[in-house]
Amino acid sequence: MSDLPPVDELAPRVVERCEEAVHAFAFDTFWVGVRIRPRAERSADVVAAWKGELKRRVGGELVRRWSGLGRAPDHQRPQMLMVYDLERDRVRRTVRSAYVYGRYRKLARGLPQTRAPWRCTSCRGGGCGQCEGTGRQYPTSVEDLLGEPLRAAYGAASHQLHGMGREDIDVRCLGAGRPFVLELRRPRRRSVDLAAVAEAIVRHASGRVELPAGLRAVDDESLVARLKGWEADKRYRALCSVGEAVVEPGQLAALEASLSGADIEQRTPRRVARRRADKVRRRRVRRFRCEDLEGNHFAAVIEAQSGTYIKELISGDEGRTRPSVSELLGSPCVCASLDVLAISVRDDELLALPSDSAAASADAHR
């Protein structure tokens, strides 16, 4: 004889618990689970049969109640998972994140990509005019400029920016912009007017951030990993400043010839050595072109493999990057300012389903 409550009596209460747990959330797909603490005297077969029957009864009733709301059961990737815990007599909900894809242009220097934890150097965190009362060294970030309006529109608990790589705080990102996915955790709403939100983001950012291709909802969390692992070539424009020396056009022509198509070796830069493992990486500079020479300044347009440290390619980082502009010119050169001009990846390449899940969905439709 089992000590488990009869499914007939329990099912209506579990249905009510589910309704209570999710009433504030919009979702299209759901699934029901049941959790009970294992006990020695309960046979696994009896428990499995009881759970199966309870899930079937509760799921069936929810389908009946919710089909008018356009909600359907989905075993694989439910937007709302409700797990009834028998001992606690409560439903624990797991809300799948919503994802929004776009590309951002960052037009301001001094703007970090993600929320920076550093305190304001003037007030040390208390809040002052310098930090707009926030107490932070960088009052905002690309992550918050994009994420806060989206978080509010989705009624989400929190947000996180997943970028395809990152630029330094002082580097701008121009051209078509950097691909990103904004993750919205525990969203209460799922149908959002993204054109209106994109407009509000750009207006509020007042020139710091733009969304050249708008925003689109993507129901695919695997895009985050795909974006993180993608190795796209990038094109940069770097303003180079060469100490006191006056640079001759002939030197720049030699520089272009030496660096275009060159493999360079970069030991982890000193400025990031505390955060990254110290190792030597080999990177390909595909194209190196100089323009706008004026005295000891010139601009370099550089196309390089993903992961190339551009500031160090110019400075040489005290011999840790070889060859470098400093080494080839024979006098110390620094990168005075840097812009990302292009990140070589198309939206449709990125957003295409990875081959395995494309095959799986083809199977499902067969």
Residues that bind Zn ion (CB under 5 A): 120, 122-123, 128, 130-131
Burial label for 121, CB within 10 Å (0-12, 13-18, 19+), is: exposed
Q: Which residues are catalytic?
A: 168
- Minimum distance, C-beta of residue 136 to Zn ion, in the bound complex (Å): 8
CA proximity to 338, closest of 169, 132, 142: 169
Specify the residue, 122 or 337, whose C-beta has the smaller distance to Zn ion. Answer: 122
d(C-alpha 53, C-alpha 245), whole Å: 83
Q: Collapsing DSSP states into helix, strand and coil, what is residue 95?
A: strand
Neighbour count for residue 227 (Cβ, 10 Å): 20
- Minimum distance, C-beta of residue 161 to Zn ion, in the bound complex (Å): 24
- Minimum distance, C-beta of residue 124 to Zn ion, in the bound complex (Å): 8
Angle at 343 between CA 340 and CA 348, to 5 degrees: 150
Sign of CA dihedral 341, 343, 349, 351: negative
- Minimum distance, C-beta of residue 118 to Zn ion, in the bound complex (Å): 11
CB 178 within 8 A of CB 104: yes
Specify the residue, 134 or 331, whose C-beta has the smaller distance to Zn ion. Answer: 134
Specify the residue, 136 or 320, whose C-beta has the smaller distance to Zn ion. Answer: 136
CA proximity to 172, closest of 215, 142, 212: 142
Quote helix, strand, coil % in the chain, to nearest 5. 30, 30, 40
Specify the residue, 103 or 136, whose C-beta has the smaller distance to Zn ion. Answer: 136
Helices (H), the chain: 7-22, 44-66, 142-154, 194-205, 222-229, 249-259, 310-315, 325-329, 347-351, 355-364
Specify the residue, 121 or 357, whose C-beta has the smaller distance to Zn ion. Answer: 121
d(C-alpha 319, C-alpha 361), whole Å: 52
Specify the residue, 130 or 344, whose C-beta has the smaller distance to Zn ion. Answer: 130
Q: What are phi and psi of 112, to 5 degrees?
A: -75, 155
Angle between helices 142-154 and 194-205 (to 10 degrees): 140
Specify the residue, 120 or 218, whose C-beta has the smaller distance to Zn ion. Answer: 120
β-bridge partners, 82: 32, 93
Q: Which tokens is 348 given? A: 């449709």
d(C-alpha 137, C-alpha 114), whole Å: 13
- Minimum distance, C-beta of residue 144 to Zn ion, in the bound complex (Å): 17
- Minimum distance, C-beta of residue 153 to Zn ion, in the bound complex (Å): 30
- Minimum distance, C-beta of residue 138 to Zn ion, in the bound complex (Å): 11
